[in-house]
Structure 1
Amino acid sequence: MATALRYLEPGEVRAWRPAGAAHIRVEIAGDRTILTALLKRAFPLSEPLQLLSIQDGAGKEVGILRTMEGLDPQTREVFDAQLDRRYFTPRIERIESLRQEAGMWKFGVVTQRGATEFYVRNWRDSATEIQPNRWHITSADGGRFEIPNLEGLDAESRRLMDQLL
């Protein structure tokens, strides 16, 4: 039996992280408090601040928050931190090396957080152009990386990427 979507307004939702707790708690006014709440974006790339699924610890959806606009400052801070952790995707600013190694592509890159290396097993299955010149790459270990604007990279980075494109 399918259940109807329950939409929540910002004024109905309050969130906090108890001291020392690993999970956030979410109170829905007049209904319940979720002791182990999960927060997921319905459209993480195109609408990151709209339509957020609030779920219980078992992953069962309790409701969908239409927008983060209008949340109280504490709740907004808790939600921002939770979403940053869940959807952290380093932006590749420069590609320093790219070579095949053991049947995989080994990337040496510089991101907004510094230099790192990662492997990609199968380029066609692991990379998606989500908008013109904007690439999302999933590494062999499940990490996510983004090239926000391929044309905006330096000439050497673009030359290295030409091996894959």
Structure 2
Amino acid sequence: MERNGRVAVVGVLLVVSCLALLLLAEPSRADVIAGRVRRQSPWLQRAPLTFALGKKFARNRPAASSAFALETNTDWRENVVEQSRPAQPVAVRPLAELSAEVTDSKPAPRSRAFYGCMSNCLTLSQYNPVCGTDHTTYHNEYKLECANRCGAKPRVSIKKSGIC
């Protein structure tokens, strides 16, 4: 009986000491998954906007809750710049005189409506410059097509690839 009493006292002491260790131990911030210990990253505790973005990255970024629509140029026929035709017939000049004038001339000035239409004309952003017959360097052949859709008169075609 005396031996059973000692075993019981030792068992009680072991249980009490284990409970004391559990209460005094510092809780760890780890999850035990299938025998592995996975430490939690300190970055998980941070708010998503902890780091302030520089002006370079914060500019032109919509707020998370704002909704916006993308404007397309599907109604380009409504945006075509109408140029008035002269009521009087225009004098015809020899082709040699015109071609000499074209090679030395600068790009024709365009209206504000034309440039507005060009800026709304969505194309691929690949840079592959082409020189148009109007002596304008276009970003790529699709921007040249936009010029024709926006009412470039006379119609522009590709004179050569590359800048003018």
Larger RCO of the pair (alpha carbons < 8 Å, separation 6+): 2
Structure 2 length normalisation: TM-score? 0.21
More strand by proportion, 1 or 2? Answer: 1
Q: Name which one, 1 or 2, has greater alpha-carbon Rg.
A: 2
Structure 1 length normalisation: TM-score? 0.21
